[in-house]
Amino acid sequence: MEQPFDLTLIWAGIIAFGVMMYVLMDGFDLGQGILFPFAPDEHHRDVMMNSVAPVWDGNETWLVLGGAGLLAAFPLVYAVFLPALYIGVFLLLAGLIFRGVAFEFRFKAKTSKYLWNWAFAGGSTVAAFAQGAVVGAYIQGFKTENFRYVGGALDWLTPFTVITGLGLVAGYALLGATWLIMKSEGSVQQWAYKLAPRLLLMVLVVFAVISVYTPFVDPLVKERWFSGFSAIWILPLLALYCAYIVFSSLRKQQEGMPFVATMGLFLFTYLGLLASKWPYMVPPNYTLYDAASAFESQLFLLLGFLFVIPIVLTYTAWTYWVFRGKVKAGGYH
C-alpha cells in the first residue's frame, strides 16, 4: 500500500514519548516504595505513601496503554520482548500487583501493617529492577529468527542487565526522594535532603558504568559515538549538567528544582539511549519499520488518538481540579 506519510515514524514518536512519561510518572511513585525500608518511622512512611496515593493508579493505566499501543503500532516489539523477558515480565507484574494492593490495604491495616510495608517496598523494588533489566536487554539485543524470539528463558539476565536494573532502582529512588522534597516538609523533607545526594552519586556511578560498558556490548553504539565527533554528544553533556543542577539545588535546599533537574537527567539519558540504538527497535536485526504494524491499523488507531486523547486529558484535568488543594500529610490512624 502506498503510504502518503510516514505513520511509523509518528508512532515511534508517540511510543517514545509515552515510555518517557511512564518512566517519569511511575518512577517517582515506585521510588517511594524503594525508599520505604530506609524511612526512620511509620510517620515518614505515611507521608511518602500519601504523596503519591492520588496519582499512582492513573500512572499504571498508562502502562496498560503502553502494552496495548505497542501491540497496535509495533507488534514485533510486543511479540519478541515479552517472550524473551518472560520471567522478568512476571516479576514486574507480580511486583506491581503487590505494591498496588499494598496501597489499598496498608491504610486499612493495623497489626498487619508491616506486611503491607514489605509488600509495597518489595513490589516496587522488584518492578523497578525488572524495568531496568528490560532497558539493558534492549541494549544487548535479542536472538531472533524470522521475526520470532529463539533464545532461552534467562538470556536477558546478564551482569549488564543486573547493572541496568540496579541503575533504574537507584534512579527511581532519586526521583522519589526529590519528589518527596517537593511534596513534604519538616523531618520528612530533611530526611529526603540527606538521602538525595547519595542517591545521585549512585545513579552517576551506575550511569558511568553503563556508558563505558555499552559500546563493548554493541559495536553499533561504539561506531556511533566514537567515530568522530557527533552532535549527539550534547545529550550526555546536558545530562551531566542536569546532575550538577540537582546537586547544587540540593545544597541550596531548593524545593522544586531537584525534582525538575532529576527529570532532565532522565530525559537526556533516555534520548542518548535512543540516539545510540536508532533506528533499531528489536536489536540487532529489526528496525522500527520491520517492527511496524500495517499502515491502515496505525491510521485507524491514530485517528482515535487524535479525537479521544484530548477528551481524556480534558476530563482527567477536570477531576484533578475537583480534588485540587494540598494533600494532607497526617497519618491515618
Residues 64-93 that bind other proteins (CB under 8 A): 64-65, 67-73, 75-76, 78-84, 86-87, 89-90, 93
CB nearer other proteins, residue 208 or residue 308:
308
CB of 258 to other proteins, least distance (A): 25
* Nearest alpha-carbon partner for 32 in 53, 15, 17, 49: 49
CB nearer other proteins, residue 211 or residue 287:
287
Subset of 250-309 contacting other proteins (CB under 8 A): 293-294, 296-297, 300-301, 304-305, 308-309
Subset of 112-131 contacting other proteins (CB under 8 A): 112
Q: How many residues bind other proteins (CB under 8 A)?
A: 76
CB nearer other proteins, residue 187 or residue 319:
319
CB of 238 to other proteins, least distance (A): 33
Give the C-alpha separation, 59 to 57, whole Å: 5
CB nearer other proteins, residue 252 or residue 328:
328
Decide if residue 21 touches other proteins (CB under 8 A).
no
Of 22, 118, 147, 247, the one binding other proteins by CB under 8 A: 147
CB nearer other proteins, residue 123 or residue 258:
123
β-pair partners for 61: none
Decide if residue 107 touches other proteins (CB under 8 A).
yes
CB of 196 to other proteins, least distance (A): 26
- Cell numbers for 204: 552517576
CB of 229 to other proteins, least distance (A): 40
Subset of 23-62 contacting other proteins (CB under 8 A): 50, 53-55, 57-58, 60-61
Subset of 201-220 contacting other proteins (CB under 8 A): none
CB nearer other proteins, residue 75 or residue 264:
75
**Rg for the chain (alpha carbons), in Å?**
20
CB nearer other proteins, residue 18 or residue 215:
18
Of 37, 40, 152, 256, the one binding other proteins by CB under 8 A: 152
Decide if residue 14 touches other proteins (CB under 8 A).
no
